[in-house]
């Protein structure tokens, strides 16, 4: 596990938790300079995605490591944590388990999919080859890049960075991460005193995700944006600026 701290070291603490097949450098890279102006950032790379030879074990084991870092270094309390996509599963677990306390849990347009073991195995058999199969095939690589550019309105440069990021990680770590995320469930109607769950709702994902956010958390603070899943991290200032403004508003809310 890698924890790197940067930014405004006298500002509020904000942990950044990247999504599937990503390190924080690629996932949050476009917005780190802006966030660094105001916040003391704690940027996380999970086992298997941190440049080491370790393999990603499972979501709960990694959650426990994150909890230990917060306890050992911050007395068990952070001002905020933001999860990109799969990283939101960690935010949800940190809130629900109550081993540490987070004032503001920020969920970056997640799907929060959950399933049983057979369904998780089947989905992994279908999806993981798509995430890893392009790395040794130029034709598949170009096809995947064009899909990413079209769906997220990414620039060619941004798509190249994500493709390069995906290709550096072990397929075993990717499989373990994807599979165990589906098996890491949240309870319904989670409520923790003095914690506010904030959701960045990308409305182009569909209303079923909005319903899911309200199912898992009691009275979540939901901000709606006209964008695709995590598009604010991939498609430039048009999408990033309003979301960054919302994050500042989240972090200033009294708990």
Asked whether residue 121 is assigned to any structural domain, the reply reads no
Residue 158 has a pLDDT of 72
Count of beta carbons in the 10 Å neighbourhood of residue 173: 19
Residue 146 has a pLDDT of 78
* Residue 157: pLDDT over 90: no
Query: Into how many domains does the chain fold?
Result: 1
Query: When comparing pLDDT for 198 and 134, which is higher?
Result: 198
Model pTM score: 0.92
Asked whether residue 191 is assigned to any structural domain, the reply reads yes
Report the pLDDT averaged over residues 32-39. 98
Q: Across all residues in the chain, what is the average pLDDT?
A: 92
* Residue 207: pLDDT over 90: yes
Asked whether residue 152 is assigned to any structural domain, the reply reads no
Beta bridge partners of 217: 190
Asked whether residue 14 is assigned to any structural domain, the reply reads yes
- When pLDDT is cut at 50, 70 and 90, the band that residue 52 belongs to is very high
Percent of the chain exceeding pLDDT 90 equals 78
Percent of the chain exceeding pLDDT 70 equals 95
* Residue 104: pLDDT over 80: yes
**Cα–Cα distance measured from residue 188 to residue 114, given in angstroms and rounded to the nearest whole number:** 12
Q: Residue 216's domain is classified under what CATH number?
A: 3.40.50.1820
State which residues form the domain around 206.
2-113+184-252
Asked whether residue 177 is assigned to any structural domain, the reply reads no
Report the pLDDT averaged over residues 103-113. 96
Q: Tell me the per-residue pLDDT of 125-150, one tens digit each, with 9 for 90 and over.
A: 888 887 777 666 677 777 777 776 67
Q: How far is CA 39 from CA 9, 12, 91, 218, in A?
A: 7, 5, 18, 27
Q: Tell me the per-residue pLDDT of 210-236, one tens digit each, with 9 for 90 and over.
A: 999 999 999 999 999 999 999 999 887
Asked whether residue 98 is assigned to any structural domain, the reply reads yes
Residue 254 has a pLDDT of 97
Residue 136 has a pLDDT of 64
Q: How far is CA 218 from CA 84, 138, 213, 248, 251, in A?
A: 21, 47, 9, 22, 19
Report the pLDDT averaged over residues 103-108. 98
Asked whether residue 144 is assigned to any structural domain, the reply reads no
* Residue 203: pLDDT over 90: yes
Residue 94 has a pLDDT of 98
Asked whether residue 211 is assigned to any structural domain, the reply reads yes
- When pLDDT is cut at 50, 70 and 90, the band that residue 162 belongs to is confident
Residue 40 has a pLDDT of 98
Ranges 118-127, 143-152, 179-188: which has the least confidence: 143-152
């Amino acid at each position: 596990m890698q924890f790197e701290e940067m930014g405004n070291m006298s500002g509020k603490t904000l942990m950044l938790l990247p999504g599937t097949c990503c390190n924080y450098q690629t996932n949050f890279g476009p917005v780190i300079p802006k966030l660094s102006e105001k916040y003391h950032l704690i940027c996380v790379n999970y086992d298997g995605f941190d440049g080491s030879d370790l393999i990603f074990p499972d979501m709960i084991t990694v959650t426990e490591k994150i909890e230990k870092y917060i306890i050992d270094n911050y007395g068990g309390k952070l001002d905020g944590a933001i999860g990109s996509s799969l990283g939101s599963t960690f935010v949800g677990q940190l809130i629900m388990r109550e081993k540490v306390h987070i004032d503001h849990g920020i969920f970056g347009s997640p799907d929060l999919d959950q399933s049983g073991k057979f369904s998780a195995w089947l989905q992994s058999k279908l999806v993981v080859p798509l995430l890893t199969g392009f790395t040794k095939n130029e034709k598949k690589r170009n096809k995947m890049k064009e899909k990413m550019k079209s769906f997220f309105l990414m620039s060619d440069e941004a798509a190249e960075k994500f493709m390069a990021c995906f290709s550096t990680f072990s397929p075993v770590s990717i499989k373990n991460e994807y599979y165990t995320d589906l098996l890491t469930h949240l309870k319904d109607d989670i409520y923790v005193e003095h914690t506010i769950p904030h959701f960045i709702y990308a409305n182009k994902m569909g209303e079923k995700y909005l319903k899911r956010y309200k199912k898992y958390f009691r009275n979540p603070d939901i901000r709606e944006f006209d964008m695709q899943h995590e598009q604010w991290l991939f498609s430039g200032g048009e999408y990033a600026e309003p979301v960054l403004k919302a994050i500042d508003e989240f972090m200033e809310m009294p708990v």
